[in-house]
Structure 1
Amino acid sequence: MNQNLKTTQDLLQELAQGQFCLKNEISKILDKGASFSIDGMAIFYFGMELAEHIEQIDWALFFQTIEKVLSDNSYQQFRDEIRTNILESLSNLASNGSMSPALLVAHVGPIAREYLRAYELQQSGKTIF
């Protein structure tokens, strides 16, 4: 087992870095997630906060961080939650018109892009990538 694994708090702080609209939300998110004793719930709530702050997020910085986290083995235990609770949620927001698909297309890195392409093809048979 990797002794250098990061915590949920580490992950959320990394993802919120430079996102001033999310800084005050991290402790609230961690409290909500802790009440369920499930790390994935905190990541789920983080994804919900992204949806609430679409216009204020620095998407280029955010997706650079997503790529870093998805390739960093110290975050390996969170990869599935990041894919389902963040990437799929953002794809769904783009599909239903709540978020501009151009934000995803312009800023998603290669790891996230590959996952989202497969997810969208499975869901609808078409993809924006």
Structure 2
Amino acid sequence: MDRMRLDKWLWAARFYKTRSLATHEIDAGRVLVGGQQAKPAREIGEDDLIEVRRAGQPPVQVRVRALSLVRGPAPQAARLYEETPDSVAARAHAAEMRRLAPEPARDFDEGRPTKRDRRQMDRWRGR
């Protein structure tokens, strides 16, 4: 086997939980092969460059190292691809930025408004 469908490979490599979810993401344009949009039935082989984009995360660029028709355990699935150094660096940078970002809950030092606070706000608004 030297070629296989893109959606099957993404499922076998554990990028998506189901093939239908992989197909949906490919159709939505969130998976690129060689820098171009692809269709779920696109044939891929070894050394193809695949980019997977997810919301709120930097894109993951991987190079296909092996093909598999079955979905195995995670360590076995990780051997199907190799992440590019640029992708690893981008993910590390994004993780560092998340770590350094301020805690969103710090804006709420006093908690929820009390009944008294709500009445004061209503007076300020002229209600």
TM-score normalised by structure 1 residue count: 0.34
Q: Choose between structure 1 and 2: higher helix proportion.
A: 1
Which structure exhibits the higher relative contact order, with contacts defined as CA atoms closer than 8 Å and separated by 6 or more residues? 1
Whose Rg is larger?
Answer: 2
**What is the TM-score of this pair, normalised by structure 2?**
0.35
Higher strand share: 2
